[in-house]
Amino acid sequence: MMSVIVSGCASTDEYSHIRNDINALRSAQYAQKDEIQDVKKRVAVIETQKQQQQSKPAKPDVSDAIRESQESLNSKFEHLNREMQQLQGRYDERRHYVDKMLGESKTDRDVLRAQIEHIENDMKELRLKMGRVDATLQQKGMGVVPPNPESNREMPPSTQPSPTVRAQPDDGNVKTIYDTAIKDFQDGKFKEARDKFARLLKDNPANPLAGNSHFWIAETYYREGSYEDAILSYDVVVKKYPGNAKIPAAKLKQAQAFIEIKDPRTAKTILQQLIEEFPKTTEAETAKKTLQGMTTTPPPPPPPPATRKMDPAKKTQEGKPLSKTKPIKPVANSTQQSDE
């Protein structure tokens, strides 16, 4: 839990740097907008001058001068047009970069918010457990045991030899543990699979299968319905293993987990990033279909059928029609219904 809080603090510092970069980029964009407006004004002035000169009748003795002036204006106009296109290109590039930075920053904030909510839920559960334990102790008359002052004394150094460090398993054993965990996952033994993946990561954090193990841990949480834990575990795959082949699948499942916890806005952001970063993957195609389904407004539900109300005057105390009520379809030789 403390590691998550520390990572949250680090993320806050990163947000400050990102925010400063975004402000600087916005200032540059505003400056480029001013330059583009200035170029447009200059082009408009040149066009006006050109039209005025073309509307005036040219004298034979000044035709050459007018022609040279028009050629000069045309050259200036083409130069300004090229300059405006370059400025527009730089502006569009900066704008795309800023939009991308804003999207990534928003996703990080949403993931951090999910982490904070997860920590708060854990703290609430711990408080409830502590309250129940304290109430049980009070009922048994035990209360809280005060600390023993003898425990504060310094203990003499131990004469026992330190335990030997357990040798790390080789790659063959790691693959065996990984395959066994996958088999447990396929059999629906999600907790057993998660424990095996966690042991693999603890003993072999730098193994090439570490990124895949984190992904399958997230999958076990997702299958169990622990979507907040799944979101955090998928985020570990994306952030800690940037070159892993499971990243597109992790982003897709992370977005689906946000949909499950009723946060479609964050899910859309992650799906759009997936399509932009991995456009040729099957996960990107699934993300496009998911976005289309999210943007389609479902039809309103049909109104409930109207219930026909009967006149209370036509009912007896037992809820049966009076004998004087005229039947809808008279039937010959009908028998009188008996009260049971």
Identify whether residues 280 and 215 lie together within a single domain: yes
Phi and psi angles of residue 315, each rounded to the nearest 5 degrees, phi first? -115, 145
Is residue 225 situated within a structural domain?
yes
> What CATH number is given to the structural domain containing 181?
1.25.40.10
Identify whether residues 176 and 291 lie together within a single domain: yes
Is residue 11 situated within a structural domain?
no
Identify whether residues 123 and 198 lie together within a single domain: no
Instruction: Look at residue 141 in the predicted model and tell me its pLDDT.
Output: 53
Helix/strand/coil for 167: coil
Is residue 308 situated within a structural domain?
no
Identify whether residues 133 and 24 lie together within a single domain: yes
Q: What is the pLDDT along the chain (340 residues), one digit of tens a residue?
A: 444 444 444 456 666 777 777 777 777 777 777 878 888 888 888 888 777 777 766 555 566 777 777 777 778 778 787 888 878 877 777 777 777 776 666 677 777 777 787 777 777 777 777 666 666 666 655 444 444 444 444 455 555 555 444 445 456 789 999 999 999 999 999 999 999 999 999 999 999 999 999 999 999 999 999 999 999 999 999 999 988 999 999 999 999 999 999 999 999 999 999 999 999 999 999 999 999 988 765 556 666 665 555 555 554 444 455 445 555 554 444 444 444 4
Instruction: Look at residue 63 in the predicted model and tell me its pLDDT.
Output: 67
Q: Cα–Cα distance between 223 and 185 in angstroms, integer? A: 10
Instruction: Look at residue 167 in the predicted model and tell me its pLDDT.
Output: 47
Identify whether residues 99 and 210 lie together within a single domain: no
Instruction: Look at residue 278 in the predicted model and tell me its pLDDT.
Output: 95
Instruction: Look at residue 296 in the predicted model and tell me its pLDDT.
Output: 63
Instruction: Look at residue 146 in the predicted model and tell me its pLDDT.
Output: 46
Q: How many domains does the chain have?
A: 2
Instruction: Look at residue 195 in the predicted model and tell me its pLDDT.
Output: 96
Identify whether residues 186 and 85 lie together within a single domain: no
Nearest 5 degrees, angle CA 114-CA 119-CA 120? 95
Name the DSSP class of 267: H
Identify whether residues 89 and 133 lie together within a single domain: yes
Identify whether residues 291 and 188 lie together within a single domain: yes
Q: Is 267 in contact with 255 (CB distance < 8 Å)?
A: yes
* Run of H or E residues at 8: helix 2-55
Is residue 236 situated within a structural domain?
yes
Identify whether residues 77 and 188 lie together within a single domain: no
Is residue 131 situated within a structural domain?
yes
Phi and psi angles of residue 63, each rounded to the nearest 5 degrees, phi first? -65, -40
- Distance set, CA 230 to CA 31, 221, 280, 331 (Å): 44, 5, 25, 69
pLDDT > 90 fraction of the chain, expressed in percent and rounded: 34
Nearest 5 degrees, angle CA 92-CA 93-CA 96? 85
Instruction: Look at residue 145 in the predicted model and tell me its pLDDT.
Output: 44
Identify whether residues 107 and 213 lie together within a single domain: no
Of 137, 155, 187, the one marking the end of a domain is 137
Burial zone of 22 (CB within 10 Å; 0-12 exposed, 13-18 middle, 19+ buried): middle
Within the chain, residue ranges assigned H as helices are: 2-55, 63-139, 171-186, 190-203, 210-224, 227-240, 247-260, 264-277, 282-295
Instruction: Look at residue 207 in the predicted model and tell me its pLDDT.
Output: 93
Of 261, 279, 295, the one marking the end of a domain is 295
Phi and psi angles of residue 59, each rounded to the nearest 5 degrees, phi first? -85, 150
| Residue 32: how many other CB atoms lie within 10 Å | 17
Burial zone of 231 (CB within 10 Å; 0-12 exposed, 13-18 middle, 19+ buried): buried
Identify whether residues 187 and 81 lie together within a single domain: no
Contacts for 288 with CB less than 8 Å, ≥ 6 apart: 275
225 sits in the region (left: phi over 0; alpha: psi -120 to 50; else beta) called left
Is residue 245 situated within a structural domain?
yes
Name the DSSP class of 152: G
Q: Could you tell me the residue range of the domain that residue 232 belongs to?
A: 172-295
Q: Is 178 in contact with 200 (CB distance < 8 Å)?
A: yes
Question: Can you say how many angstroms the Cα of residue 319 is from the centroid of all Cα atoms in its chain?
Answer: 58
Q: Cα–Cα distance between 241 and 231 in angstroms, integer? A: 15
pTM of the predicted protein model = 0.43
Identify whether residues 130 and 209 lie together within a single domain: no
Instruction: Look at residue 147 in the predicted model and tell me its pLDDT.
Output: 46
Is residue 196 situated within a structural domain?
yes
What are the structure tokens assigned to 255, written together? 């977005």
Is residue 40 situated within a structural domain?
yes
What are the structure tokens assigned to 56, written together? 């005036």
